[in-house]
Amino acid sequence: MEAARLASMLGWAALVAYALSTILYTTSVFRTAPAIGWAATAFAVLGAVCNFGTLYARSVALHSVPYRDLLGSMKLFGFFLAMLNIVLELRHRDRSLGPFLMPAALVFLIFAVLQTSPVHKDAPELKGPIFALHVTLNMLAYAAFAVACALSMLYLVVGRSLKKRALSGPASRLPSLSYLERANRTSLALGILSLSVGLFLGLFWASRMWKGEHPQWVLDPKIWFALMTLAFYVFVLVRARRGAGPISTARLSIAGFLLVLLSYTAVNVLVSKLHDFTS
Amino acid sequence: MNLVFVGWDHRAAPLDLRERLAFTPEKTREALEGLFAEHILSEGAIVSTCNRAEIYGISAREDGLDALAGFFSRFHRVDDALLRQTALSGRGDATSRHLFRVAAGLDSMVLGEAQILGQIREAHRLATAAGTVHTVTNRLFMSALECGKRVRAETALGQKPTSVAGLALALAGRVFESLKGRKVLLIGAGETAELTARLLADDGVSEILVANRSYEKGEALAAAIRGRAVRWEDRARAAAGVDLVLSATNAAEPVLTVGALRTALHGAPRRGPLLVLDLAVPRDVEPEVGKLSDVYRYDLDGLQEMAAANARSRADEVPHAEAIVEESVRKFQEWWGGLLQGDVVRGLREKLESIRRAELEKYAGKLGAMGASERAAVERLTETLVAHILHDPTVGLKEGDGSERLERAAAVRALFRLDERPK
């Protein structure tokens, strides 16, 4: 079977598995039957395996990294979200992130699978290990920020239910405030580290590849937006470590992810010409 | 042969009678040995808690229930008439249903309490050690434990605390992963504060601060619990630096005000949420403290309201739990019925017969080459073989007393996999 077709089939399989996992995770919030939770995890794992498979098959088809365009990187982003969900679930034996992370992974995969956008030009800047690492680390950072956003939303939900003295209902099955706060800071730190290295590699790569053809590459809005996002998250984490209240950290963490979404979508597609590899 | 139970619980038997009927582990062994020696039971186990003393077992006697009540009257030297008047008893379905309801917490004084599962497990362990648990009681107790676990996993019957102490712990569990390593401030050094401090010290908190109007009294309590006393005027600042504040003074006015705490929180940056439990009447902590960001405040009235609401909502879970109990009863009765109704012999016969037919069909081609009389001879030969194989097990299953017969039947069912559906 040709690699492109296999990539497409595995993409659809991952999409179906993520959809089932999302439904089951959401159901597990309201119903306590253990089998539902286990099935949700099983489909998340199956989806992640297929997602990895589709990335691999795509890389074989393209003879390069599979996420050198927006849709490919969306697939990678979905994969990271699913993987972070599985790792956190196994590490803490807690499924409360699933209903937040798996729908997000599903949405990214839907976009990536439903729209086929072959890369038209075989640009030299899209090849090489530095480019691959740059994209991978940036995607990992964005996935970590997505997890931080989900943890922050959960923090606000649990905090509100405690203020309202509601000890029962779906919110009562969520983790404790102190766990959510700690996990949020860990996710932010992982995201910042990953984005810092990823950006550094990107700048290094761009300085080598674009200096002749695009001498104004330093002014690319995508780069400045990414640096601004990094600065914002560093501010949030430093503030939290210096003792800022967890509620305000949670709110800023959610706001930060809105910046990530903006950087990932509008800035990428509409503003930045240098980072648009689809045309 | 009957599956029976006799018991005295918190509904029918008053406390002083239950006290006299209580079984220590030694008394449990002694009673079980006595019941076996008098041939009242051929299998049995005793469940003894502060709310119940119940015996479950197999009795071959028609007057098994009367004999059990009479035995306990002699064993505990309690008036026979009083015992019979306050006893609960039953046989067959009623026995398994009663034990399963007990395991589910449906028969407990506090609906859904979880301690009973451990007590049933202990009863099974003691009876096993005494050698009085065999096929049926083993299955009965295992099924009861499974039923109890299912009720706790699939319903919210035991999930919501109904006592102030239970609620305080549940709240702490919602705010912190565990109390280990947490810092606590006790405001007051009275009996409630001391009792709570000792419980917290057992839970592994890292530091307990004690703020009391009389510094010396606070210092004495702090020394007793390996904590540290802080000055009364520093209590708000101390509150801002801990994870949990527990206040229980006799003060007529609030001792922790929103203004003082807000100021202290601004001056002392903190990382996590602050849980404030006000166990005093009148209240020690101003209600507005609960409106501060990252501060979760609960007072005694609020905790009691939550406890009452939880008790009401536990009752809503009863039908779901009862359905699980009925399903467990049905499954147990199916198994029990299989043992009693000669299903084993029938099942064994059917299994061997199906094997015989399958083998004949397999060799149908070769047998087809034979004449009709030879084929009939082969048919008779295989039938005779099956009949001979079945003869000894059929006789053996009818030998011995009731418990022995049940054990043999269970062994045959397991060895020949009679409970599995044919593929």
Number of CB pairs < 8 Å for A and B?
Answer: 74
What percentage of chain B has pLDDT greater than the value 70?
94
The answer to whether ipTM exceeds 0.95 is no
Q: CA of A22: how far to CAs of A86, A88, B62, in Å?
A: 13, 16, 59
User: Any residues with CB less than 8 A from the CB of B27 and at least 6 apart, and which?
Assistant: none
pLDDT of amino acid A122:
59
The residue annotated as part of the active site, out of B22, B50, B109, B142, is B50
In this prediction, residues B365-391 reach a mean pLDDT of 89
Q: What is the rounded radius of gyration, in angstroms, for the C-alpha atoms of chain A?
A: 19
AA identity, residue B138: N
pLDDT in tens, A7-54: 889 999 999 999 999 999 999 887 777 889 999 999 999 999 999 999
Task: Name the residue with tokens 């049995």.
Answer: B44
Quote the CA–CA distance of B58 and B68 in Å, as a whole number: 11
Query: What is the predicted pLDDT for the residue at A90?
Result: 85
Set of chain A residues whose Cβ sits within 8 Å of the Cβ of B155: 32
What tokens appear for B416 in the block?
């020949």
Contact B197, B208 (CB under 8 A): yes
Closest CB from B272, B290, B306 relative to A181: B272
**Residue-wise pLDDT tens digits, B200-235:** 777 778 899 999 999 999 999 899 888 999 999 999
β-bridge partners, B8: B53
- Domain boundary among the residues A56, A89, A118 is at A118
Whether chain B has a CB inside 8 Å of the CB on A172: the answer is yes
Q: Does A157 touch chain B (CB under 8 A)?
A: no
Q: Measured between CA atoms, how close is B421 to chain A, in angstroms?
A: 24
Q: What is the mean pLDDT of chain B?
A: 86
Domain locations along chain B: 2-154, 164-310, 342-415
Q: Of the given ranges (A115-124, B67-76, B101-110), which has the lowest mean pLDDT?
A: A115-124
Summarize the confidence of residues B46-53 as an average pLDDT.
Answer: 89
A246:B273 CB<8 A: yes
- Evaluate if residue A124 carries a pLDDT over 70: no
Query: Residue B321's pLDDT is what?
Result: 93
A70 lies in the same domain as A58 = yes
> Residue B162 — pLDDT band, cuts 50, 70, 90?
confident
Inform me whether the pLDDT recorded for A127 exceeds 70: no
End-to-end CA distance of chain A: 28
Q: Is the pLDDT of residue B423 over 60?
A: no
Phi then psi for residue B91, to 5 deg, are -140, 160
Q: A91 — contact with chain B (CB < 8 Å)?
A: no
pTM of the model: 0.64
What does R_g of chain B's alpha carbons equal in angstroms? Answer: 32
Nearest to A245 by CA among A159, A168, A165, A162: A159
Strands B2-9 and B88-91: antiparallel
Identify which of A168, A131, A129, A194 has the alpha carbon closest to the alpha carbon of residue A32: A168
- What contacts 24+ positions apart, CB below 8 Å, involve B342-348? B343/B418, B344/B397, B344/B409, B344/B412, B344/B413, B344/B418, B345/B390, B345/B393, B345/B394, B345/B397, B347/B413, B347/B416, B347/B418, B348/B390, B348/B393, B348/B394, B348/B412, B348/B416, B348/B418
Q: Is B392 exposed, middle or buried (0-12, 13-18, 19+ CB in 10 A)?
A: exposed
- Same domain? A229 vs A100: no
Residues A68, A188, single domain; the answer is no
Cβ <8 Å between A245 and B293 = yes
Chain A residues with beta carbon closer than 8 angstroms to that of B177? 175-176, 178-179
Of the three residues A57, A83, A118, the one that is the final residue of a domain is A118
A49-104 tens-digit pLDDT: 999 999 888 888 877 777 767 777 788 889 999 999 998 888 777 788 898 889 98
Residue ending a domain, among A64, A93, A118, is: A118
The single residue listed with the structure tokens 């950006």 is: A199
Q: Does B266 touch chain A (CB under 8 A)?
A: no
Residues of A in contact with B290 (CB under 8 A): 163
As given in the structure block, the two tokens for residue B99 are 């034990």
Upstream peptide bond of B393 is cis (omega within 30 degrees of 0): no
The range of the structural domain enclosing residue A96 comes to 1-118
Q: Please give the Cα distance from B74 to B35 (Å, whole number).
A: 12
Q: Is A163 an 8 Å CB contact of chain B? A: yes
Are B398 and B126 within 8 A, CB to CB?
no
Instruction: Please check whether residues A194 and A146 belong to one and the same domain.
Output: yes
**CB under 8 A, 24+ apart: contacts of B167-172:** B167/A167, B167/B303, B167/B306, B167/B307, B167/B310, B168/B277, B168/B279, B168/B298, B168/B303, B170/A167, B171/A162, B171/A167, B171/B275, B171/B277, B171/B296, B171/B298, B172/B244, B172/B275
**In this model, does residue A119 exceed pLDDT 60?**
no
Lowest-pLDDT range, A27-31, B43-47, B239-243, B325-329?
A27-31
Q: CB of A133 within 8 A of CB of A201?
A: yes
With cut-offs at 50, 70 and 90, classify the pLDDT of residue B282. Answer: confident
On whether both A277 and A173 belong to a single domain, the answer is yes
The answer to whether residues A109 and A126 belong to one domain is no
A234 touches A253 (CB < 8 A) = no
Whole-angstrom distance, CA of residue B84 vs CA of residue B89: 10
| Band (B347; pLDDT cuts 50, 70, 90) | confident
How far out from the chain centre does Cα B241 lie? Answer: 40
- Option in B272, B294, B306 nearest A167 (CB): B306
- If one compares B399 and B4, the residue with the highest pLDDT of the two is B4
A158/B174 touch (CB, cutoff 8 Å), yes or no: yes
| Domain shared by A143 and A250, yes or no | yes
CA distances for B215 relative to B183, B235, B241, B276, B343, angstroms: 20, 12, 19, 22, 78
User: Which residues of chain A lie closer than 8 angstroms to B175, CB-CB?
Assistant: 162, 176-178
* Residue B299 near residue B278 (C-beta atoms within 8 A): yes
Q: Assess whether pLDDT exceeds 70 at residue B91.
A: yes
d(CA B415, CA B423): 17
Q: Which residue from A minimizes the CA distance to B306? A: A165
Q: Rounded to whole angstroms, what are the CA distances from B167 to B162, B200, B299?
A: 7, 15, 11
Domain match, A111 and A127 both: no
Q: Is the pLDDT of residue B100 over 90?
A: yes
Q: What's chain A's average pLDDT? A: 84
Does position A272 have pLDDT exceeding 50, yes or no? yes
Would you call B50 a catalytic residue per the annotation? yes
Task: Grade residue A126 by pLDDT with cuts at 50, 70 and 90.
Answer: low
Phi, psi of B211 (to 5 degrees): -115, 115
pLDDT at residue A196, as a whole number: 96
CATH of the domain at A21: 1.20.120
Q: Which of B155, B175, B302 sits opposite A178 (nearest CB)?
A: B175
Residue B277 clears pLDDT 70, i.e. is over it: yes
- Residue B422, pLDDT above cutoff 60: no
Shared domain check, A131 and A111:
no
pLDDT attached to residue A279: 44
One domain for residues A160 and A193? yes
B205 contact partners, CB below 8 Å, separation of at least 6: B179, B180, B181, B182, B183, B184, B244
pLDDT at A156: 94
Same domain, A184 and A276: yes
Binning pLDDT at 50, 70 and 90, where does residue A118 land? Answer: low
Q: Does the beta carbon of B164 lie under 8 angstroms from any beta carbon of chain A?
A: no
Q: Which residue among A32, A177, A240 places its CB closest to the CB of B273?
A: A177
Q: In whole angstroms, what is the distance from residue B191 CA to residue B85 CA?
A: 42
Which residue from A112, A156, A138, A135 is spatially nearest to A255, judged by alpha carbons?
A: A156
DSSP secondary structure code for residue A104 in this structure: H
Same domain? For A109 and A205 the reply is no
Confidence of residue A205 (pLDDT cuts 50, 70, 90): confident
Q: Does A181 sit within 8 Å of B156, measured CB to CB?
A: no
* Helix, strand, coil % in chain A, rounded to nearest 5: 80, 0, 20
Of B159, B175, B293, the CB nearest to A162: B175
pLDDT band, residue B396 (cuts 50/70/90): confident
CB-based contact A168 B310, cutoff 8 Å: yes
Rounded distance between C-alpha atoms, residue B272 and residue A247, angstroms: 9
Query: What is the strand order of the sheet B244-247 is part of?
Result: B228-230, B207-211, B183-187, B244-247, B274-278, B295-299
Tell me: pLDDT of A278 over 60: no
The count of structural domains within chain A is: 2
Inspect the interface and report whether the beta carbons of B310 and A246 lie closer than 8 Å. Answer: no
pLDDT at position B141, please?
96
pLDDT at position A216:
73
| CB neighbourhood size of A103 (10 A) | 19
Give the chain B residue whose CA is nearest to the CA of A174.
B174
Output the CA–CA distances (angstroms, integers) from residue B326 to A246, B90, B104, B337, in the order listed: 47, 16, 11, 16
Question: Is the pLDDT score of A179 beyond 60?
Answer: yes
For the domain B2-154, what is the CATH code? 3.30.460.30
Between the alpha carbon of residue B375 and those of residues A122, B366, B380, B383, B387, the distances in Å are 79, 10, 9, 12, 19
> What per-residue confidence (pLDDT) applies to B1?
67
Distance from CA of B271 to the nearest CA of A (A): 5
- Is it the case that residue A263 has pLDDT exceeding 90? no
pLDDT at A121: 52
Let me know if domain B164-310 sits in CATH 3.40.50.12280. Answer: no
How far is A47 from chain B, CA to nearest CA, in Å?
Answer: 28
A132 alpha carbon, distance to own chain's centre: 16
